[in-house]
Amino acid sequence: MLLRNLTLKQCRVFAAVARGGSMAAAAQALNVSPPAITLQMQLLQEQVGLPLLERLPSGMRLTEAGQDLLAAIQRVEVTLEEAGARLAALAGTERGTVSVGVISTAKYFAPRALAAFARTRPGVELRISVGNRAEIVAGLQQYDLDIAVMGRPPEEPIAEAHVIGDHPHVVVAPPEHPLAGCAEISPAKLEGATFLVREPGSGTRSLMERFFADAGIAPKIGMQIGSNETIKQAVIAGLGIAFISAHTVEAEVGTGRLVVLKVDGLPIVRQWYAVSLRQRQLIPAAAALRDFFITDGRGFLPLLPPPGPPSA
């Protein structure tokens, strides 16, 4: 039996009749005329196709079908009340689910910022995805992500990007590299060096290519590697040097496993952004996270490691 045309008005009229025991009592409770109650009950009866009420000398009594329908109506009312409570919570910034995309290079600071935000709003559920630029942009465009943390946002007018803070890029080498102790290194001196690079299309790879194109040189590509962690380990092992986000090498430079080369024109400083789709209306919790990145995100950025050989 299909009840798809059943209306909330009919259900509430029936519940009022069941509570009051008569059409007149339902009309008084709902502040409508008795004929209006009678009409809605007739429409409901036609929908159900079974008797819902039976008349007794003492008044009306629910049939078995009427009892089942009333129980279902009561469950619907409870569900609507719960939905109303959830919607009211979502209207504030304390509840809701926010999907965040983090470009792989940003994983060195974004989790700390997200953890700090979560401590202030324990009712907000954060779903975090880490990927390369193409994956994060696709997630935004497919509405899988509410907010993305990235270094090069999609072109306007699709994206709305807000600056989080500076994003410097440097060249790193193992401490025993011949250029590690040089006070000034022109880009031309790097032309014969072997570079370990990210995949084409990554933000870091694109920035490196523009830097060397502007310098009029073509770096020697020794190996293409899909993650910053593997690039760092390969540089430490002596397989080459790398143009990389300074925020990814803070720990290794601090412990002397890597050094930042003093290359003229570096660091190149770009920006970190909190990005969302312009045409998408964020729920309040997602908007609060975006605002948190804008106002407080800078404080979670790693320090720029100093260039040159490690101190003794």
Average pLDDT over residues 209-225: 92
Provide the pLDDT confidence category of residue 281 given band limits of 50, 70 and 90: confident
Q: What is the pLDDT of residues 64-107, one digit of tens each?
A: 999 999 999 998 988 888 787 677 767 777 888 999 999 988 99
Please report the pLDDT score of residue 94 as a whole number.
81
Reference 274, options 167, 131, 161, 168; nearest CA is 161
Provide the whole-model pTM.
Answer: 0.69
Three-state DSSP at 235 gives helix
Please report the pLDDT score of residue 312 as a whole number.
44
Q: What is the chain's percent helix, strand, coil content, to nearest 5? A: 45, 25, 30
* Kind plus residue range of the DSSP H or E element containing 98: strand 96-103
CATH T-level topology, domain 96-164+271-300: D-Maltodextrin-Binding Protein; domain 2 (3.40.190)
CATH superfamily label, 167-269:
Periplasmic binding protein-like II (3.40.190.10)
Residues of the chain with CATH 3.40.190.10: 96-164+271-300, 167-269
CB 146 within 8 Å of CB 282:
yes
Whether CATH 1.10.10.10 fits 8-90: yes
Q: What is the pLDDT of residues 108-161, one digit of tens each?
A: 999 999 999 999 999 899 999 999 888 999 999 888 999 999 998 887 667 899
Please report the pLDDT score of residue 1 as a whole number.
54
Three-state DSSP at 128 gives strand
| Percent of the chain residues topping a pLDDT of 70 | 96
Three-state DSSP at 113 gives helix
